[in-house]
């Protein structure tokens, strides 16, 4: 079914598509969110490894944190719910930079942004659209890819999202991570995270975190936990079973036709021509 025939699942706010689970009132009030100086924001475009990153941070011993649900999920009562969190808050979000609450910028809260190769992100999102009852299912990969390239999907264009955040890549309160690097050398990424958060973690604890956050471990835990409603990281579902699909780099090759690949590369080259992140993703 096309997004037009299921308008109730999605709505547009300031030109960007959101799930109706993010109420217009909440989106319109984001700037009244009261950030705390020690808040940590986990930011990503959907399907870039948000759950993985959140789990890694939750598993850091003695971090003294509480993982909350996304700042943009729910209605206006959200801010009160977040206000009640007694510990240091780790708050996930898929918001682009412009929409991030102004107090987060003013207070220079720590922000970890994770980016993933957009071809794999598109494939992952195609499956999410199909499997997630909160999203309108697209009939074919070709139809979904067209929407993705137009930015006609939840949270808008991958390019706009990444570029909006890339401008802040070198801000001292921002850490940029790549999904592919986390896959290739997990401990290197983990060391970046712990150094950024200023938390000491020894080698044995690092090994433990690596094991407990492997794809297979997380996938089987999701099945066991059976969708803990208090463990919502993505504003598009509370069902963790929908999240763990393949967890690999390069699955796009099984989906893109040569023609689709050329069209994608052309758009990528045009949009990311001045982007360091773009160059990095192409390497």
Residue selected from 88, 105, 107, 127 as contacting ligand A3P according to rule CB under 6 A:
127
Nearest to 43 by CA among 207, 139, 132, 164: 164
Q: Are 71 and 78 in contact (CB under 8 A)?
A: yes
> To which H or E segment does residue 18 belong?
strand 16-19
Residue 50 makes contact with ligand A3P by CB under 6 A:
yes
Coil, strand, or helix at residue 58?
Answer: helix
Residue number with CB closer to ligand A3P (46 or 136): 46
Residue selected from 112, 201, 243, 281 as contacting ligand A3P according to rule CB under 6 A:
243
Residue number with CB closer to ligand A3P (49 or 74): 49
Site of tokens 């942004």? 113
For the record, the structure tokens of 270 come out as 């045009």
Number of neighbours of residue 21 by Cβ within 10 angstroms: 19
Please report how close the Cβ of residue 117 comes to ligand A3P at its closest, in angstroms: 10
Active-site amino acid positions: 94
Q: Which stretch binds ligand A3P (CB under 6 A): 2-10, 44-52, 63-71, 131-139?
A: 44-52
Question: What Å distances lie between residue 67 and 57, 92, 183, 269, 272, CA to CA?
Answer: 9, 8, 23, 37, 33
Residue 251 makes contact with ligand A3P by CB under 6 A:
yes
Please report how close the Cβ of residue 71 comes to ligand A3P at its closest, in angstroms: 16
Task: Dump strand ranges (E) for 107-252.
Answer: 110-115, 174-178
Judged by CB under 6 A, the chain residues 172 through 201 that form the site for ligand A3P are none
Binding site residues, ligand A3P, CB under 6 A: 44, 46-52, 120, 124, 127, 213-215, 218, 234, 243-247, 251
């Amino acid at each position: 079914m096309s997004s037009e025939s299921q308008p109730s699942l999605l709505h547009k706010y300031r030109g960007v598509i959101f799930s109706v689970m993010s109420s217009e009132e909440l989106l319109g009030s984001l700037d009244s969110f009261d950030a705390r100086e020690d808040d940590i924001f986990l930011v990503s475009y959907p399907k870039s490894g948000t759950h993985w990153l959140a789990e890694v941070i939750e598993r850091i011993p003695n971090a003294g944190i509480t993982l909350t649900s996304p700042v943009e999920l729910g209605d206006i009562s959200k801010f009160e719910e977040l206000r009640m969190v007694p510990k240091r808050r780790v708050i996930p979000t898929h918001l682009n930079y412009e929409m991030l609450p102004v107090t987060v910028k003013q207070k220079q809260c720590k922000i970890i942004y994770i980016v993933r190769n957009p071809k794999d992100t598109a494939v992952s999102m195609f499956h999410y659209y199909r499997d997630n009852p909160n999203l309108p299912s697209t009939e074919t990969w070709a139809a979904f890819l067209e929407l993705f390239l137009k930015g006609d999907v939840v949270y808008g264009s991958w390019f706009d999202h990444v570029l909006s955040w890339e401008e802040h890549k070198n801000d001292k309160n921002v850490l940029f991570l790549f999904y592919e690097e986390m896959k290739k050398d997990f401990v290197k990424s983990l060391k970046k995270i712990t150094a950024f958060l200023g938390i000491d973690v020894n080698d044995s604890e690092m090994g433990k975190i690596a094991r407990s956050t492997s794809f297979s471990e997380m996938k089987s835990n999701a099945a066991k936990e059976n969708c803990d409603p208090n463990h919502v990281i993505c504003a598009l579902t509370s069902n963790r079973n929908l999240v763990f699909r393949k967890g690999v780099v390069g699955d796009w090759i099984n989906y893109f036709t040569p023609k689709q690949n050329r069209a994608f590369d052309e758009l990528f080259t045009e949009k990311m021509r001045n982007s360091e992140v773009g160059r990095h993703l192409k390497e």
